[in-house]
Structure 1
């Protein structure tokens, strides 16, 4: 692989971070490949730990979630390039609010992204599932699932 490929992966991640806080969600889904695998190893019970999807399915998902929460800024960004020019590790905090309540939240992420031909084709996202459930308005569902598991 060339240095150009290595730079391209970093640039895609930088565009991802900028698009994540764009109020219109402009271009976020466009950064993903036609076929993408998203893994969330710390997903709570009842939520998928792995999904295979497409940029168009992600676009619909992003649009559906846009009315529930607003992301305002990204900070604490560290981008680690690896020996594999297609793989980048990014650490960041994304700040936002729940639209219905105005409650603010901060999600802390570490993502391992594989970028091929300028598109994200694999992402392994590590974050706190409780804070995520709260930010997505799904905390009651999570509590219900955990309560059922305890019986």
Structure 2
């Protein structure tokens, strides 16, 4: 880790997170997290853990996602600083394309990110799970009622 990493503020780390996310640079994305960081996804769709821990766990998950879709970009970005200098709220739309079907998938995200020593220590991620389930033909699983 470079010395400059520890000096990055929460907004700087958030902007870097957005930049590497927009390129689908999954290894670089994993490297933004502390070794023992935690990601919470309170409204995770079926099959996605609501809580996971560890940079290498995230790296493996990101690599799995890379097989499912290709990142095409990020827009509608807002980075909100909070009264706690370690916490930022990041809003963005992530544009992807499913590799198997070629179906486009755009999802709105809100990430509440805690950054300390230039690394993401904790994030709470909220996503438009309906858009994702619809694009992947899994809306019935999300709804749990047999609807397609």
TM range (shorter): 0.7 to 0.9
Q: Is the 8 A contact 1:35 1:52 kept in 2?
A: no
Tell me which moved more, 32-41 or 5-14: 5-14
1:101 — aligned with what? 101
**Deviating more after overlay: 10-19 vs 23-32:** 23-32
- Pairwise mapping of residues 124-139 of structure 1 onto structure 2 (< 5 A)? 124-134=124-134, 137=136, 139=137
| 2: CA distance, partners of 1:23 / 1:127 | 17
SS at match of 1:48: coil
The Cα shift of 1:45 comes to 5.0
Query: Is 1:20 aligned with 2:17?
Result: no
Preserved CA contact (<8 Å) 1:6 1:85: no
Whole-angstrom distance in 2 between the partners of 1:19 and 1:57: 18
Q: Identify if the C-alpha distance between structure 1 residues 144 and 7 changes in structure 2 by more than 3 Å, giving closer, same or farther.
A: closer
**3-state SS of 1:67 partner:** helix
TM-aligned CA distance change 1:82 to 1:71, over 3 Å: same
Gaps of 5+ in 2: 1-5
Partner of 1:42: 43
Q: What TM-score comes out, normalization by structure 1 length?
A: 0.82
Aligned to 1:83: 83
Q: How many residues align?
A: 141
Is this contact kept in 2: 1:42–1:128, CA < 8 A?
no
Q: Given the two structures, how large is their TM-score scaled by the length of structure 2?
A: 0.83
Runs of 4+ in 1 over 6 A off after TM superposition: none
Q: Could you say if the C-alpha distance between residues 11 and 131 of structure 1 is closer, same or farther in structure 2, counting changes exceeding 3 Å?
A: same
Q: CA RMSD in A?
A: 2.4
